[in-house]
Amino acid sequence: MGGRKIIEIPISQEHSPKQSPEERASEQAILAAELGTAPEIDLHALSPDEAIRRLDTEISHQAAMRTEVLQIIHGRGAGILREAVRAHLAANPLVAYFRDAEQAGKQGGVTYAALYDASPRPLTKS
């Protein structure tokens, strides 16, 4: 079956009905990435400025490659890097949605970001 996994989420685990259809789709992509693998970037041990520069480059690259979800490792620490990363994600037009990892051992130290597709489109004649 092409390597795709079908994930059933019990109604009790569904996220808020206030989420838009786009947010629900992004949440499902992140959940699938948590259960499988997603490209990752490890930013801990970097200064916030250097981390944001690298993250910005990686987001652009992954969006152009049509990557659905990027796993961002920022570590726990004092939370300074995590907050800088999340502020950048909130302002980045290539990021559709992001949230903290829910897996044990990753909570607070990893953020998942669902990306918009930024791949080049062929020109069409009108």
- What are the sequence ranges of the domains in the chain? 20-115
Q: Give the residue from 43, 50, 99 showing the smallest Cα distance to 72.
A: 43
Please give the structure tokens belonging to residue 97.
Answer: 């949605």
* pLDDT above 50: residue 11: no
pLDDT in tens, 60-113: 999 999 999 999 999 998 999 999 999 999 999 999 999 998 888 888 899 999
Does the domain formed by 20-115 have CATH 3.30.1370.110? yes
pLDDT at 120: 67
pLDDT at 96: 92
pLDDT at 38: 86
pLDDT in tens, 19-63: 687 777 777 777 777 777 789 999 989 999 999 999 999 999 999
Q: What values do phi and psi take at 20, rounded to 5? A: -75, 165
pLDDT at 13: 42
pLDDT at 17: 55
pLDDT at 102: 85
- Residues 6 or more apart whose Cβ sits within 8 Å of residue 25: 114
Q: Which residue has the tokens 């990893």?
A: 110
